[in-house]
Structure 1
Amino acid sequence: MYLKVTGGSVPIDGGYDTLIPQFIKVRQVFDSTMIDDIQAKIRDEVQKKGIRVKIKPGMRIAVGVGSRGIANLGLIVRCLIDELQNLGAKPFIVPAMGSHGGATAEGQAKYLKSHGISQQSMGVPIHSSMDVIHIGNTSSGVPVLFDKICCESDLVIIVARVKPHTDFKGPIESGLCKMLAIGLGKHAGASRLHKEGFEEFHHVIPEAAKVILNKVPVAFGLAVIENAYDQTAFIEAVEASQFLEREPILLDIAKSRMPRLYFDDLDVLIVQEIGKNISGAGMDPNITGRSGSMVDQGFIAPTIQRIVALNLTNETHGNASGIGLADVTTKHLVNSIDFPVTYANGITSTVPSSCNIPLVMNNDKEAIVVAMKTCNRIRLEEIKMVWIRNTLSLEHIWVSESLIPFVKSRTHCQVCGEPQFIKFSDQGHMIPFE
């Protein structure tokens, strides 16, 4: 089901022929440490004494794989599968993505396939089901539900990216424990835990994971950390007994590798594309400073008056969760939304505002102009604007001329070119900067 937006331009003071400033390409410098040989690294991790001893010939092992946009995900999963098979095990893959993929077994299998995870590419079956088992309650009485197929396997292994969460802060955020509690809780389990509210997640997630670790034969988790350039920087096989102790340390490592925008405040941030493959929130609140949960986050991010979201990524398959964090968007983006899929996320997370539709303009040019004209306490000739492709791609950004003195004063920023005007097609769609 798709909403078709119609209508002409909304009248605004002075019309749409506003002078948009020139932009200059800027390079932001981050830690670029990465793993050169992923296959060798995974082999070494699986061969660790505490890990290898858990794998016995003939074991049916469920490998939980989520829906996050992990770099090299297909390679990482295939290397893990190969190592398990080399040890004589019989692995298979289970989607571990809560309510994503439209909260259906077919949708989740399709989502994995879009990330290169299929029976053909992995050489093992994909068993996708939304059936869960009530395996116990947390110390505060919250029911914990877990994937039925995983409960019936000999062992469970999860592949998870460890990173700061987009809706809450705590010693354990996105990673191994969340993959167990939310990802393999499937739609029912994810929905139940989200009812506790994000303000409780800092202890709900570890408590639910503790119940699972006591009830389910979880062998280990393959923790992945990426650098600021969306490259695989760190992989570690963590024994199940070490999840609660090790994950806070891994989260600190992940935070140190995160990209950011090196600005204190901005008037307009233009985001070329948002999507679930970019962030669970479409555009990462750790970058924009905006979270749909309304929980006090303390993000290290610039204060931004207006955010413009121009497009959805192809990989998000119409899921526009997080569009509510923007102030202005385009008819093109709204016409690309798959509302049932988007709303499934908003309802499950209990944050329906993340699916709210902001001001919808006919095209990119109108959207950018409206964002500029709704900023407060500025002179348009001094407006501070930044264009990014998405919140994962922050090495090369484009900034308005007014920000150049600031850029030149920062050791982590470099001016890379000459000023250019934004180019638009005849239909008013922005031609993205390189």
Structure 2
Amino acid sequence: MRDRQLVADLVSDIALPKMFKVKQIFPRPRIDPEEIPGIIRQLLSQEKFADKVQPGMRIAITAGSRGIANVALTTKCIADFVKYRGALPFIVPAMGSHGGATAEGQKAVLESYGITEEAMGCPILSSMEVKKIGVNEEGMDVFIDKYAAEADGIILGCRIKPHTAFRGPYESGIMKMMAIGLGKQHGAEVCHEAGFKNMAKYVPMFGKAIIKNAPILFAVPTIENAFDETCKIVAVSAEEIAEKEPPLLQEAFANMPRILVDECDVLVVDQIGKNFSGDGMDPNITGTFCTPYATGGIKAQRVCVLDLSPETHGNGIGLGYSSATTKRVFEKLDLASMYPNAITCTVLGGVRIPIIMESDREAIQVCVRTCNEIDKKHARIVRIPNSLHIEHIMLSEAYYEEAKKNPDLVIESEPEYLPFGPDGNLW
């Protein structure tokens, strides 16, 4: 108790500024979920796609571990089309080492998104077993999910989005779904072993080898807007993936949200979790990149994490890129769910434990206290609920005049002190 009080005393004189609410204005192209079945049916009814699905064929449909908008609906629409063509669909989890790197864990991830056998109307065949299908251009063995490898055809369901650790023509999308998703634990380890420095090389190299040696029919990728809503669905034949994915990635970049101030002293993130980003908090928003091979997001001298989302079930990956957190977060951490992903991708920074403070107030205070060369009486603080939903955020009073002049920021409240309870936690 005495030691804790000593730490608290070191930050107790740090006065936190008043904060005000703002609404960030982003473009919002959007597809109504009710329109999705018709869009997918129309896309796949084109001769170049429909002719690839013949009666009696066993067709594997991939589904990943990311929280993709309308993922259960889009997956079911693909399965329905396969059945309409007289073929036999089944779903395979394509998520590398995620789900605890077990068949049961990966099936459970899909079920948490509503992708169940009952809802999809077809089997889910989950296994960590892989099968060699060939070699890539450097002579490295290429493996993919056993069930997918033995199917008559594979349809890739996925989302195209900027990656959180590297930059290249192919990031999170079709190529990665093949190279790492379908590659299971083995594919994830092989691609990550060379580090993120080489990921922009290995993802398409393995992806192209899979297109050449596995029965890939086509892909049905989606793009999301700044509000985590489906804004585009396309169909891409196997032979067109290499050419068409890079422009789609640029569309995904253009639709991403961002914090509409470029820099701050302290970024406060109310919650992190795997349901918001594979990295707990998306560094494309928060600037908390795990490697030097990707850049973007807000430039913050300190990052403060206040809590974990219930949906992340103690997986606090990404916490290591914060400067301070709360005792509440520390007590929720499930290290067994955090470590496998970090070990597989060979980047351990995200599972480190930052400085732990007793309360929300102390965690924010220690971040302000340890900033260098700032005006601590008028600290520039940005507070976001999480990295996925940033339409409504809070800014400290130092931003008030700047916000009034920004046509993309709508001020929603006057500056007020944050409402801390007697325990120092935010109400």
TM-score by length of structure 1 reads: 0.94
> Match for 2:326: what amino acid?
T
Q: Return closer, same or farther for 1:124/1:17 CA change in 2, 3 Å cut-off.
A: farther
Contact 1:9 1:362 in 2 (8 A): no
Tell me which residue corresponds to 1:47: 45
Structure 1 CA distance for aligned equivalents of residues 425 and 343 of structure 2: 32
Structure 2 CA distance for aligned equivalents of residues 242 and 68 of structure 1: 24
Contact 2:20 2:411 in 1 (8 A): yes
Tell me which residue corresponds to 2:111: 113
Tell me which residue corresponds to 1:343: 339
Structure 1 CA distance for aligned equivalents of residues 58 and 5 of structure 2: 59
Q: After the TM superposition, which of the residue ranges 65-74 and 422-431 deviates more from structure 2?
A: 422-431
Contact 1:114 1:315 in 2 (8 A): no
Structure 1 counterpart of 2:58, from 29, 37, 60:
60
Structure 1 CA distance for aligned equivalents of residues 191 and 132 of structure 2: 13
Structure 2 CA distance for aligned equivalents of residues 359 and 367 of structure 1: 8
Tell me which residue corresponds to 2:209: 211
Per-residue deviation at 1:380?
2.2
**Structure 2: tracts of 5 or more residues without a match:** none
Q: Return closer, same or farther for 1:371/1:15 CA change in 2, 3 Å cut-off.
A: closer
Structure 2 CA distance for aligned equivalents of residues 59 and 32 of structure 1: 39
Q: After the TM superposition, which of the residue ranges 146-155 and 334-343 deviates more from structure 2?
A: 334-343
Count the aligned residue pairs.
Answer: 423
SS in 1 for 2:249: helix
Contact 1:132 1:146 in 2 (8 A): yes
Per-residue deviation at 1:16?
2.5
Q: Does 1:330 align with 2:303?
A: no
RMSD between aligned alpha carbons?
A: 1.6
Structure 1 CA distance for aligned equivalents of residues 31 and 194 of structure 2: 38
Q: Deviations over 1:250-275 (max 9, x none)?
A: 00100110101111210111111111
Structure 2 CA distance for aligned equivalents of residues 160 and 212 of structure 1: 16
Tell me which residue corresponds to 1:254: 252
**Structure 1: tracts of 5 or more residues without a match:** 1-6
Contact 1:67 1:277 in 2 (8 A): no
Structure 2 counterpart of 1:156, from 145, 150, 154:
154
Q: Deviations over 1:33-90 (max 9, x none)?
A: 0112122111112112211111112221111100111111112212222222222221
Tell me which residue corresponds to 2:224: 226
> Match for 1:278: what amino acid?
F
Structure 1 CA distance for aligned equivalents of residues 334 and 62 of structure 2: 26
Tell me which residue corresponds to 2:200: 202
Structure 2 counterpart of 1:407, from 400, 403, 408:
403
Contact 2:19 2:395 in 1 (8 A): yes
Q: Deviations over 1:80-117 (max 9, x none)?
A: 22222222221111111111111111111111111111
Which runs of structure 2 are paired with 1:7-406 in the superposition (5 Å)? Answer: 8-9=4-5, 11=7, 14-16=10-12, 18-36=14-32, 37-295=35-293, 297-299=294-296, 301-406=297-402
State the identity as a percent. Answer: 43
Q: Deviations over 1:215-234 (max 9, x none)?
A: 11011111110000111101
Q: After the TM superposition, which of the residue ranges 342-351 and 399-408 deviates more from structure 2?
A: 399-408
Contact 1:325 1:354 in 2 (8 A): yes
SS in 2 for 1:311: strand
Per-residue deviation at 1:10?
5.3
Q: After the TM superposition, which of the residue ranges 336-345 and 12-21 deviates more from structure 2?
A: 12-21
Contact 2:54 2:85 in 1 (8 A): yes
Q: Return closer, same or farther for 1:403/1:243 CA change in 2, 3 Å cut-off.
A: same
Q: After the TM superposition, which of the residue ranges 357-366 and 149-158 deviates more from structure 2?
A: 357-366
Contact 1:177 1:209 in 2 (8 A): yes
Per-residue deviation at 1:19?
2.3
Q: Return closer, same or farther for 1:15/1:201 CA change in 2, 3 Å cut-off.
A: closer
Per-residue deviation at 1:14?
4.9
Structure 2 CA distance for aligned equivalents of residues 193 and 141 of structure 1: 14
More helix by share: 2
Contact 1:18 1:369 in 2 (8 A): yes
Contact 2:133 2:149 in 1 (8 A): no
Structure 2 CA distance for aligned equivalents of residues 76 and 425 of structure 1: 44
SS in 2 for 1:324: helix
Per-residue deviation at 1:379?
2.2
TM-score by length of structure 2 reads: 0.95
SS in 2 for 1:99: coil
